[in-house]
Amino acid sequence: MAIPLPIFKGYTVDVRLKEFRKVEQNKRLEFVRFNSAKGDKLLAGFIKTLDIKTKKDNETLLAIWK
């Protein structure tokens, strides 16, 4: 069963691979690692959107820090 990945600012957030991905028509795929300068800024913004009171967001946050 496929689990939909979260979207943040047009990027698909892949916590397992620790990267943001953006796909736009007629453009190259964009991959941004969490540990890059751009990834760090995106990750900080994404984390602010999480509600740790929900099980799903809490698990996402824990997976980010692994």
Instruction: Write out pLDDT tens, residues 3-56.
Output: 889 999 999 999 999 999 999 999 999 999 999 999 999 999 999 999 989 999
Distance CA 62, CA 2 (A): 20
Q: Number of C-alpha atoms within 13 angstroms, CB side, residue 9?
A: 14
Please classify residue 57 by burial: count the beta carbons closer than 10 Å to its beta carbon, then call 0-12 exposed, 13-18 middle and 19+ buried. Answer: middle
Residue 2 within a domain: no
For residue 1, is it within any domain? Answer: no
Residue 47 lies in a domain: yes
pLDDT recorded at residue 3:
83
The pTM of this model reads 0.88
Using the 8-state DSSP alphabet, how is residue 5 labeled?
P
**Rounded-to-integer distance, Cα 64 and Cα 66, Å:** 6
Q: Which residue has the tokens 């929900």?
A: 54
Q: Is residue 12 part of a domain?
A: yes
In a domain, 41, yes or no: yes
Residue 61 lies in domain = 7-65
Instruction: Count the domains in the chain.
Output: 1
